[in-house]
Amino acid sequence: MKLWDGRFSKSTDPMVDDFHSSIRFDSCMYKQDILGSMAHVKMLGKCGVISEEDASLIYKTLQEILSDIENGRVTFEIGCEDIHMNIEKILISRIGDVGKQLHTGRSRNDQVALDIRMYLKEETTQIKALLTDLLQVLIDMAENNLDVIMPGYTHLQRAQPVTFAHHLMAYVQMFLRDQERLTDCYQRMDIMPLGSGALAGTTYPLDRHAVAQELGFERITENSLDGVSDRDFVLELASALSIVMMHLSRFCEEIILWCSHEFSFIELDDAYSTGSSIMPQKKNPDVAELVRGKAGRVYGNLMALLTVMKGLPLAYNKDMQEDKEAIFDSVDTVKMCLPVFTKMVATMSIRRDNMLSAARGGFTNATDIADYLVKKGVPFRDAHAIVGRMVACCIEQEKNIEELGIGELKAFSEKIEMDVYEAISLETCVNERNLPGGPAIVSVKASIENARERLQQEEGN
Ligand code: ARG
């Protein structure tokens, strides 16, 4: 017996039952489904659509079903299609005809739209908390590494010196933006669709605002067709999560490079590394690689969702049932990646000497020598050419520029004096870049403070 089989003369082929059933992946929304039904039935009673007495029996029974599910006392049936029908059927099996009134003024179309919004609101809040944990670790780490000089790169070629703190704070900016994006898309999840019915609203005098308030929604949807067929909030979340994964993946890529013998900027803790089954010497950054790899599936989910929604006529279409596996997988993946990544970063050790010696090589202070000459009155283009010649000469002699004697330096330009050594030391290079947003210790300290403030603001959101 199906809850909808009145007009049918045959039962569905078991293959069809199996094919269109979503209970395997939507049962995780049992809590949202029940809480949504509880709010709906409470309102039905208050508005006089059903008797207060029946409403309270349904309400109470739903509460019991919720606790039974939580205690593992309920099994769902594939033949019952989805979580919504499973729960309604259990309700009816417990209280008979009274339970049959629950679905008054409601459709599974607005019901599923409600459930998924509620579910994703909670998940979004959890992901934001995980991002906060990561941000806190990164900010603390930056604070402890303000003076650790490392090369900054462009084209993965050593470019100019920065600090490890500055590098970490770049990721802090990314993850703060991720948090803001999640806060932003949360606002568009926070809209209550019940009352949209199947597509055209309902003739019952429902109090939509009361349901919204009961369930902690900020607003109600403004159009019944859109109310049941909007999945923009799913796409927005899938996209925000893809960007989170992109950031994690870039960071992972750097960690993988940094713990290679060639860089040796960091060492991962043994608890966050793995060995090789054949090569006894190996210590591999598998965790970082796997996080980098998992970005692929999260991007794939976004593409799947965009493609499912593309070309769907209004309003509900069964295609939309395909939204769940994709978005749940993105949510679960991000929730799995963030804490393990945070711990991996929190426990890695920094090899500051290697970072410094890498910054000493590669002529990372070349721009500063050109700037030194500019300050002494040489036009920048000429200064650029002079330093270019110095670099070529140093490459031949296998030396850094600061290892040339004053006489050798003067041969490139008469303007060079003894103060050049101080001017081009890596510490000067870093700390003279003290504009807001620069790598100087003062600038990074200020950006740490700003980041802490933004983080606090986000926690309030
Ligand atoms: N399981 C369905 C889904 O996830 C629920 C809505 C079904 N509505 C319908 N008219 N078949 O989309």
CA-nearest residue, atom 1 of ligand 1: 82
Relative to the CA of 82, which ligand 1 atom is closest? 1
| Alpha carbons 385 and 232: distance in angstroms, whole number | 54
**Residue where the block lists tokens 């100087």:** 440
CA-nearest residue, atom 2 of ligand 1: 321
| Alpha carbons 447 and 439: distance in angstroms, whole number | 10
Average pLDDT over residues 302-327: 98
Q: Residue 321 C-alpha to ligand 1 middle, in angstroms?
A: 6
| Alpha carbons 457 and 455: distance in angstroms, whole number | 5
Q: Residue 312 C-alpha to ligand 1 middle, in angstroms?
A: 14
pLDDT-derived band at 461, boundaries 50, 70, 90: confident
Q: Residue 83 C-alpha to ligand 1 middle, in angstroms?
A: 10
**Residue where the block lists tokens 């003290």:** 434
| Alpha carbons 418 and 387: distance in angstroms, whole number | 16
CA-nearest residue, atom 3 of ligand 1: 321
Task: List pLDDT tens digits, range 32-49.
Answer: 999 999 999 999 999 999
| Alpha carbons 204 and 44: distance in angstroms, whole number | 9
Please tell me the predicted confidence (pLDDT) of residue 12: 86
The catalytic position among 155, 261, 277, 349 is: 155
Whether residue 338 contacts residue 130, with contact meaning beta carbons closer than 8 Å, is answered with yes
DSSP letter at 274 equals: B
The catalytic position among 56, 67, 260, 276 is: 276
pLDDT-derived band at 5, boundaries 50, 70, 90: confident
Which of 82, 84, 194 to probe ligand 1 with, by most ligand atoms within 8 A of CB? 82
Of 191-200, 212-221, 409-418, give the lowest mean pLDDT range: 409-418
Please tell me the predicted confidence (pLDDT) of residue 41: 98
Residue 11 known to be catalytic: no
**Residues 6 or more apart whose Cβ sits within 8 Å of residue 119:** 28, 29, 32
**Residue where the block lists tokens 């179309």:** 109
Q: Which of 213, 200, 160 is nearest to 364 (CA)?
A: 160
CA-nearest residue, atom 11 of ligand 1: 318
Q: Residue 69 C-alpha to ligand 1 middle, in angstroms?
A: 21
Q: Are strands 191-192 and 219-220 parallel, antiparallel or unpaired?
A: parallel
Which of 118, 318, 323, 328 to probe ligand 1 with, by most ligand atoms within 8 A of CB? 318
| Alpha carbons 397 and 371: distance in angstroms, whole number | 23
Whether residue 405 contacts residue 394, with contact meaning beta carbons closer than 8 Å, is answered with no
Of 128-142, 272-286, 367-381, 411-425, give the lowest mean pLDDT range: 272-286
Which of 21, 78, 112 to probe ligand 1 with, by most ligand atoms within 8 A of CB? 112
Whether residue 182 contacts residue 153, with contact meaning beta carbons closer than 8 Å, is answered with no
Q: Residue 242 C-alpha to ligand 1 middle, in angstroms?
A: 26
**Identity of residue 245:** M
Class of the CATH domain delimited by 362-440 = mainly alpha
Q: Residue 353 C-alpha to ligand 1 middle, in angstroms?
A: 60
CA-nearest residue, atom 4 of ligand 1: 321
**Identity of residue 273:** S
The domain ranges of the chain are: 5-106, 109-156+164-188+203-352, 362-440
Whether residue 330 contacts residue 301, with contact meaning beta carbons closer than 8 Å, is answered with yes
- Quick one: which H or E segment has residue 267? strand 266-267
**Has residue 79 got a pLDDT over 90?**
no
The CA angle 142-143-146, to the nearest 5 degrees, is 75
What residues flank ligand 1, with Cβ below 6 Å? Answer: 22, 26, 82, 108-109, 112, 316, 318, 320-321
* Domain 5-106 listed as CATH 1.10.275.10: yes
Relative to the CA of 116, which ligand 1 atom is closest? 4
CA-nearest residue, atom 12 of ligand 1: 321
| Alpha carbons 17 and 10: distance in angstroms, whole number | 13
Q: Residue 168 C-alpha to ligand 1 middle, in angstroms?
A: 45
Whether residue 99 contacts residue 58, with contact meaning beta carbons closer than 8 Å, is answered with yes
Which of 4, 21, 80, 109 to probe ligand 1 with, by most ligand atoms within 8 A of CB? 109
| Alpha carbons 154 and 201: distance in angstroms, whole number | 57
Residue 384 known to be catalytic: no
Whether residue 291 contacts residue 255, with contact meaning beta carbons closer than 8 Å, is answered with no
Whether residue 237 contacts residue 286, with contact meaning beta carbons closer than 8 Å, is answered with no
Q: Residue 1 C-alpha to ligand 1 middle, in angstroms?
A: 18
Please tell me the predicted confidence (pLDDT) of residue 239: 98
Please tell me the predicted confidence (pLDDT) of residue 257: 98
| Alpha carbons 202 and 200: distance in angstroms, whole number | 7
Task: List pLDDT tens digits, range 152-211.
Answer: 999 999 999 999 999 999 999 999 999 999 999 999 999 999 999 999 999 999 999 999
| Alpha carbons 48 and 104: distance in angstroms, whole number | 12
| Alpha carbons 171 and 135: distance in angstroms, whole number | 9
Q: Rounded mean pLDDT of the chain?
A: 96
Direct distance between the N- and C-terminal alpha carbons of the chain, in angstroms, rounded to an integer: 46
Task: List pLDDT tens digits, range 116-149.
Answer: 999 999 999 999 999 999 999 999 999 999 999 9
DSSP secondary structure string for all residues of 18-32? HHH--HHHHGGGHHH
**Has residue 10 got a pLDDT over 90?**
no
Please tell me the predicted confidence (pLDDT) of residue 3: 76
Helix%, strand%, coil% for the chain, nearest 5: 65, 5, 30
**Has residue 411 got a pLDDT over 80?**
yes
Sheet strands (E) in 300-392: 349-350
| Alpha carbons 7 and 339: distance in angstroms, whole number | 51
**Has residue 345 got a pLDDT over 80?**
yes
pLDDT-derived band at 15, boundaries 50, 70, 90: very high
Residue 420: CA atoms inside 13 Å, Cβ hemisphere, count? 28
What is the number of other CB atoms lying within 10 angstroms of the CB of residue 124? Answer: 21
CA-nearest residue, atom 10 of ligand 1: 109
Please tell me the predicted confidence (pLDDT) of residue 279: 81
Specify the 3-state DSSP secondary structure of 371. Answer: helix
Relative to the CA of 320, which ligand 1 atom is closest? 12
Q: How far is CA 188 from the centre of its chain?
A: 17
Average pLDDT over residues 215-220: 98
Which CATH code of 3.40.50.150, 3.40.50.450, 3.40.50.2300, 1.20.200.10 fits the domain covering 109-156+164-188+203-352? 1.20.200.10
Residue 134: CA atoms inside 13 Å, Cβ hemisphere, count? 31
Residue 286 in tokens = 């598998």
